Structure formats: C-alpha cells, structure tokens
Amino acid sequence: MKKEYNELRKTIENSKTILITGHIDPDGDAVGSTLAMYNYISKLNKYIDIILLKLPITFSYLHNFDKIKTNEINLKKEYDLLIVFDCGDNKRINFNIDNYIFKKIVVIDHHKTHEDFGNLTILDYKSPSTCEIVYDILKSFKYDIDLQIAECLYTGMLTDTGSFKNSNVIPTSFLVAYELIKIGVNPNRISRLALDIITLNKLELIKYTYANLEIINNNIAYLYINKDILDKYDDDENIHEGLVNYGKNIEGIEVSIFIRQLDESLYKASMRSTDKVDVAIISKKYNGGGHTAAAGFEYNGNLEDIKNNLIKDVQSQL
C-alpha cells in the first residue's frame, strides 16, 4: 500500500469525529468522491458529517445524498478530522473552515495547480478524477466496494472525463470503469441521470448558448451569459454546467471561453481546450486554476477587459 494511503487509513482509524467536504460549486467528481468516502466511513462506527453547500440535485440518485448537509446549522464546532476532496486550493474549500477546529486536515485531489493546505495530502494530478483516486484508496484498503459506492465513483469518473472522451482519460480509467460495471453499475442509467437528461430550463440555456456563441479568429469560441438570464432559468445549482463544451466541439476551435456573471462586476470564467493550449496556466494568472484542458477563475472587474485579455492569452499559446 502506498505510504500516504496507509497514513490515511490510520488517521481515519484514530479519528472519532470526521467531517467530509469538497470544493465550492460541487460537481459530479466532488459529490461522487465525498459521498463514496462518506458511505465507506459510515460503516466504521464513527461520528461522521458531510457538507456541500450549493449542492446540485442532479446527483440525488446517489446513496446517502440526503445525508449531505447543505448548510452549517447542524455541524459540530470541532472535529478530529476534516477530509477535503477534489479541491486544489484552500480558498476553494466548500465552506468557511475558519469557524471550526480540526485536529487534522486530509486533502485528496487531482488538480494540476494544487497548492498544499492539508496535514496529509494525497495528490495525483495525472488522475482524471478524484473518484479514480478514491477507488485506488479503497482497493488498497482491501475494501469490498459495493454498488452504492461504485455508483458514486463512476459518477465522478464519468463527469470529470466528459463521458470518458476528454484528453485527461488514462488507460486505468477504463479498467476502473470495467470493475465498477462488474459490481453492477449501469452505465446507461448513470449517464442519463448525471449528464444526459436536461430540464426545460437547461434546454433554454442551451438554445441561448447556440444563439449567442461568438467565434473569434476561427479558433476561439466565446460565450457570455449575464446574471439575469442565469437567474431566470436557475432550477439547480449547476444549471450552467457543461455549457462551455458547446464551444469546444466546433471545428477549428482550440479554446472555448465561457464567462458567467455572478454579480454586478464579478464574473466566473471557465475554459476548455483541445490540449494545444494550457488553460490552467492562463487561469493561474488570474488566481484561479484547474487542469491543462479545463480550468477557471473568478474575476472582479470589467467584462470587456477580461474578454480581451483572455483572447490575447490564448492566442499567445497558439
């Protein structure tokens, strides 16, 4: 067993009270990895809480989804252990940890731009998803993964690899998927629930995306959606998820940029690249981060400025 896996195992064993969380605006990998570990630790006779603020209902088919706390009201003030999943930056922890005492913090992550903040960090930036790391950890514990945990892990693997299509996929992703399907995961069911089925509001946002997508220099796709429109169609926390991909899949496009307005002059930028351009480096410049082909950041300022700067940043790598 890898040294840090062994340390994680001992840390869990020695902790009586454990809190589990992921990154802000949790996605399929954050929800899948936190719930997989919650489901595992639940059987170990510990006091355990799981918190994910702004939790998308998309993933409500996962076992113990209803146990996830979406506010801080019923949290304890002190825990022996906090485990943070899929989070590469202490500014992106799902809730404000400053109001709590944790004897130990463990971080399990796969972000290329990871900045250490735990007492123990399990980092594999070559892994396409945190869920794939969690699979590796549970296997090394010789734990008999059940269907409930398998569905959590498969969900994160599927969503972080864009249905096993993105450039981050590695051969083991398919081996792990094979093992999870053998346990009983139904790929069609999880694909439909996690990614394919859309609400009518989402359909409206996709129509808006196609109508407003701008093509710049034949190699950049750009999409902006303001807060009014997002609020109008807001039926889930992650309603905007995936819109950036529509730009990515147009012939000749190397980078898709999607900016959504969060507030008066506050914006969230998401980028996807075909791999020629490293969008993690660009995001890092703006205090964000991510992976080579998928990254983002928050920006306080003028929309035209950020748009023009990003276009220059992308062009300089092409």
The one-letter code for the residue type at 140 is S
What is the smallest separation between the CB atom of 122 and Mn ion, expressed in angstroms?
A: 13
What is the smallest separation between the CB atom of 144 and ligand 5GP, expressed in angstroms?
A: 30
Cβ proximity to Mn ion: between 86 and 151 the closer is: 86
Query: Exposure of 110 by Cβ count < 10 A (0-12 exposed, 13-18 middle, 19+ buried)?
Result: buried
What is the smallest separation between the CB atom of 73 and ligand 5GP, expressed in angstroms?
A: 27
Sites of contact with ligand 5GP (CB under 6 A): 23, 88-89, 92, 111, 113, 270, 288-291, 294-298
- Work out which of 18, 19, 29, 273 binds Mn ion, going by CB under 5 A: 29
Question: Which entry of ligand 5GP, Mn ion, none binds 291, CB below 5 to 8 A by partner kind?
Answer: ligand 5GP
What is the smallest separation between the CB atom of 290 and ligand 5GP, expressed in angstroms?
A: 3
Rounded-to-integer distance, Cα 55 and Cα 31, Å: 8
Question: Which entry of Mn ion, ligand 5GP, none binds 48, CB below 5 to 8 A by partner kind?
Answer: none
- Residues near 240 by beta carbon (within 8 Å), at least 6 away in sequence: 205, 225, 230, 258, 260
Question: Which entry of ligand 5GP, Mn ion, none binds 297, CB below 5 to 8 A by partner kind?
Answer: ligand 5GP
Question: Which entry of Mn ion, ligand 5GP, none binds 288, CB below 5 to 8 A by partner kind?
Answer: ligand 5GP
Which residues of the chain form beta strands (DSSP E)?
Answer: 17-21, 47-50, 78-85, 101-109, 120-123, 214-216, 220-225, 255-263, 266-273, 289-290, 294-300
Q: How far is CA 287 from CA 61, 115, 204, 258, 293, in A?
A: 34, 12, 32, 17, 17
If one asks whether residue 49 binds Mn ion (CB under 5 A), the answer comes out as no
Q: Any alpha helices (H) in 117-275, and if so which ranges?
A: 130-140, 147-160, 171-183, 187-191, 200-212, 227-232, 243-248
Cβ proximity to ligand 5GP: between 41 and 156 the closer is: 156
Sign of the CA dihedral with 115 first, then 121, 127, and 130 last: negative
If one asks whether residue 132 binds Mn ion (CB under 5 A), the answer comes out as no
Cβ proximity to Mn ion: between 86 and 313 the closer is: 86
What is the smallest separation between the CB atom of 84 and ligand 5GP, expressed in angstroms?
A: 12
What is the smallest separation between the CB atom of 91 and ligand 5GP, expressed in angstroms?
A: 7
Chain residue at closest Cβ approach to Mn ion: 29
Residue 260: what are its φ and ψ, rounded to 5°? -120, 145
Binding site for Mn ion (CB under 5 A): 29, 86, 130, 160
